[in-house]
Structure 1
Amino acid sequence: MAHLLGAEGLHLEYPTKVVFDSITLGIEEGDRIGIVGRNGDGKSSLLAMLAGRKEPDGGRVTMRAGTRVGVLDQADTLDDALTIAQSVVGDVPEYEWAGDARVRDVIQGLLADLAWDAPVAGLSGGQRRRVALAALLVEDWDIIALDEPTNHLDVEAITWLAGHLKKRWAANAGAFLVVTHDRWFLDEVCTETWEVHDRIVEPFEGGYAAYILQRVERDRMAAATEAKRQNLARKELAWLRRGAPARTSKPKFRIDAANVLIEDVPEIRDKVSLQSLAVSRLGKDVVDLLDAGVTYGDREVLRDVEWRIAPGERTGILGVNGAGKSTLLGLVSGAIEPTSGRVKRGKTVQVRTLTQRLDELTDVWNDPVRVVISSLRTEYTFGNGSKAQALTPGQLLERLGFSSAQLSTPVKDLSGGQQRRLQLLLVLLDQPNVLILDEPTNDLDTDMLAAIEDLLDSWPGTLLVVSHDRYFLERVTDQQYAVMGGHLRHLPGGVDEYLRLRSAEQNAPAAASAAAATPRLDGAALRAAQKEVAALERKIQKLTQQIDRSKHALVEHDQSDYEGLAEKMKAISALETEVEENEMRWLELSEQLD
């Protein structure tokens, strides 16, 4: 493979810290590199030096003659005076850019829902991010450097970007470097991972899953080195191997070696024990949404929502921006009243929401962290029975990555990630039994995400999560729902099923046009298809009701009967699979009938 870029003896320091000390790296044609590491260790600085945006204090960066480097910064650099079209293609005539297949694909993939001549000034954060990405990707580059490209993007846009990067160049052409905390994205697009830590850059083969395996091996050979970090990594590896969606069918690391490493690692969550403890804390009734709907003026956001939330349930919520996810969570928390139907809450329910804002920190903004935690209760218990663990707020802070020196830092001077972790701690120590997390992964690095996931694994309550971070969503929840067309829809197939449904929804107009140009089903075939669709709808509704009843029956079941509970959960899983199969058949027939 041809050499594109080289860095030799790079040194970078600030008045109080040496960031890099004589690092040497190279980028070749075909490299697909993910950059990970703790916040503040220099990931963005490394990317900026390699891309020529930042001068090192020592050493040098050299490029092959004619190499073109494109950069996506974390900062919003769009000009509000321009339209979307001007931001993406500039003054290039339409007949030129419209004739380029790649440009058309980028515009269709990222901007199809936006008015081409709309001003940039009126766009949301996620829309601006998509415009900035499109402006970068329509150009020809030999190397693309992406700094947190998935920030503000939803699951669909992240999935599209991953597909684009995988097919943008031939296997041994082009290169990209990406700094991101999105572990699904790292695993999907990267063939090499660079870990930035302790003034060095350590390379690993493969994407995130392979990196985790090799890091565990490195830590094992180092014996007691970073013992806490090792345990978290091993636990995460166990999840990746045992059931991580979209990974078990195409593992990117040595399966035998992985199995040896995790053979003594228990399941990431003791679901039966957590369910039992949740029932004892919540009782049988949590929150029931009964034919609930919400209308704002003439706009109907939600309608006919039937959702009986069970004790200990761990559910992820998907949906495009504006679909009604926040309204749905508002119904659960009590912040929003339904305009139709009703919401029934259990007497012992205590709901807390970790919002995207930092509301919990407003009153302590100027206080040192030490003062904030001194006002909290002295002890907090995680887990159940013999696995219960009592931790002080200080120990929890340490578990969430705070050093003793940071205890004297005022809240306002903490980094965004540190503030986010402190906010989560304050919410947990309030001891809710229903926890709502609204985009909780913002500003957190991969190690801190793993630490928070570990903490949530032993949290005994009902957990509802809205997140565009697919890895986090799949990691901490046991099932997913989507808000689509004002309805709440169960997704037995998880995020993949949601993406299929969204793709079918977006392609429906084109499918309808194509159908109009082709002969329709004859009378007998049409009637048979319509009859089967009606039967499928009745069956799906019946199965969904059966699943709801079965989940509530779990609460009535003897919680010490582990085998009986396991059998009931297995039966529920089989019903959910049957629903998915029927939904896919319904979708096929509906496309034929449209």
Structure 2
Amino acid sequence: ATVRDVIIGVKPDHVWAAEPDTREDVSHLLSGSDLDSGVGRLSSGERRRVALAEVLLAGHDVLVLDEPTNHLDVDVIGWLAEHLNGRRATTLVVVSHDRWFLDAVCTQTWEVHGGAVDAYEGGYAAYVLARAERMRLAAGTEARRRNLMRKELAWLRRGPPARTSKPRFRIQAANELIANEPPPRDSLALQRFATTRLGKDVFDLHRVLLQVGDPPRVILDRVDWSIGPGARIGLVGVNGTGKTSVLRLLTGELQPAAGTIKRGATLKIGYLSQALVELDGNERVLDAVENRRRVTELAGGKEISADTLLKDFGFTGDKLTARVADLSGGERRRLQFLGLLLDEPNVLLLDEPTNDLDIDTLTVIEDYLDGWPGTLIVVTHDRYFLERVSDVTYALTGG
């Protein structure tokens, strides 16, 4: 079947183009796609978009969406949230690790844990507030989990008021919990420590022209860009604008068609690509990590053991002795990220790091990056993660 068969059926172009809902869904979800392409020849991301368009156009009274924002860029995610909010007569059940999206579309949040379901009024921010209060009252809650939630709660409360405008439950106790909580990271201290590891120069682009494809498509058009030690940069743009290509340019994997790139002499780049790296499937999880490095260093000389990192990343009990081949895709992604951190890079380039990760793991990664002293450049469609870990955002607009 072709994309046209799945989405439009036998309707002539002039008929479906006159239908506002069909035209809107096709223009946002399938922009640039060949409607006559076979679905089987599409990439996983393109097939995901086709399936989403098919579900949205079917006129269901109840929509159940499992990770609907995967493979969508920031603009399309924004459109999808607005579109779903406009369908007042439709009941929506969504599973997502995209916390911005949950805040944008949900009026109630369910937490599934320990064989039970707890319901909270409001979106993700409301859930964080309520869960923090529950954790404050619950005896025996582990200190590490409590500290992470308090830190995230403090960050949320410093954000836009709209994030917490919906919930009606009492939040005074939650506010008391974070009364003396400092900002998530000390940017000046991190920058000072990063300078000692990197020097004054990290990347210096002068009149760089970056082109990809055949015929060549311009990604950067004679761009000047200086990136210093301790910079925390987010890269956004619609799919196809070349965000991954920019990361590959910085690593040296791609070369500019014109212009120059100067890289600092002490750079040690850690690059997390979207692809899962090949790991030794016969190796045990604990051995795979400890054979790499047993201790790594954070800002200010603070050290953290590989064993502690494994526990923070959800590898406990039997998981520590599990074979890598027996891990799920999300677990392998976690192990890949953990191995990258243990290599002690002073520059991190992250390409869609939130893919296949649950919210608890993302919280741990954000906490780790708060104390990580280096230059960070992240490409992500996850607005929440982007706001949380970066200080400045650049948009790629095709040149």
Q: Would you call these one fold, judging by a TM-score over 0.5?
A: yes
* Residues 317 and 258 of structure 1: CA distance in aligned 2, closer, same or farther (over 3 Å): same
**Fraction of identical pairs, as percent:** 50
Instruction: State the match for 2:105 in structure 1.
Output: 189
Q: Within 5 Å, give how 1:84-95 maps onto structure 2.
A: 84-92=3-11
| Corresponding residue number in structure 2 for 1:204 | 120
Counterpart in 1 of 2:35? 116
Q: Which amino acid aligns with 1:334?
A: G
Q: Give the secondary-structure state (helix, strand or coil) at the position aligned to 2:247.
A: helix
Aligned with residue 317 of structure 1, among 235, 245, 249: 235
Q: Map 1:450-489 onto structure 2 (within 5 A).
A: 450-486=363-399
Counterpart CA distance in 1 for 2:100 and 2:163 is 15
Tell which has more relative contact order, 1 or 2 (C-alpha 8 A, sep 6+).
2
Alignment partners' CA distance in 1, 2:387 and 2:274: 20
Is the Cα contact below 8 Å between 1:376 and 1:393 reproduced in 2? no
Where does residue 355 of structure 1 map in the other structure? 273
SS, match of residue 427 in structure 1: helix
Shift of 1:161: 0.9
Counterparts of residues 243-258 of structure 1 (less than 5 Å):
243=159, 246-247=160-161, 251-253=165-167, 256-258=172-174
Name structure 2 gaps, 5 residues minimum: none
Q: Does 1:236 align with 2:152?
A: yes
Structure-2 residue corresponding to 1:159: 78
**2:130–2:171 contact (8 Å) kept in structure 1:** no
Q: Which amino acid aligns with 1:130?
A: R
2:331 is the counterpart of 1:418:
yes
Q: CA deviation at 1:85?
A: 1.7
- Partner in structure 1 of residue 305 of structure 2: 392
In angstroms, what is the RMSD of aligned CA positions? 1.9
8 Å Cα contact 1:129/1:153 also seen in 2:
no
Residue 298 of structure 1: how far off its partner (Å): 4.0
Aligned AA (1:302): L
Within 2, Cα distance between the matches of 1:201 and 1:478? 36
CA pair 112-294 structure 1, distance change in 2 beyond 3 A = closer
User: Equivalent of 1:342, from 242, 256, 260?
Assistant: 260
1:179 corresponds to 2:92? no
Contact 1:283 1:348 in 2 (8 A): yes
Write the deviation string for residues 219-264 of structure 1: whole angstroms up to 9, x where unpaired.
1110331332222111111111113xx5557633466554323112
Residue 345 of structure 2 aligns with which residue? Answer: 432
SS in 2 for 1:115: coil
Give the TM-score normalised by structure 1: 0.64
For 1:251, the aligned partner's letter is S
Residue ranges of structure 1 left out of the alignment (5+ in a row): 1-81, 487-594
Q: Counterpart of 1:168 in 2: which secondary structure? A: coil
Could you list the per-position Cα deviations for residues 318-372 of structure 1 after superposition, in whole angstroms to 9, with x for gaps in the alignment? 122221212211221122222200000111111110111222x43x222111221
Quote how far apart the aligned CAs of 1:102 are: 2.5
CA contact 2:270–2:348 (8 Å) conserved in 1: yes
The normalised TM-score by structure 2 is 0.93
Q: Which moved more, 1:114-123 or 1:278-287?
A: 114-123
Deviating more after overlay: 254-263 vs 82-91: 254-263
Q: Quick one: distance in 1 between partners of 2:293 and 2:40? A: 46
Per the alignment, do residues 251 and 306 of structure 1 end up closer, same or farther by CA in structure 2, a change over 3 Å counting? Answer: farther
Q: Deviations over 1:25-46 (max 9, x none)?
A: xxxxxxxxxxxxxxxxxxxxxx
Number of residue pairs matched by the alignment: 395
Q: Deviations over 1:261-285 (max 9, x none)?
A: 3112111011111011001111111
Once residues 124 and 429 of structure 1 are traced to their aligned partners in structure 2, the CA distance between those partners, rounded to angstroms, is: 32
- Aligned partner of 1:276 in structure 2 is 192
CA distance in 2, matches of 1:249, 1:190: 12
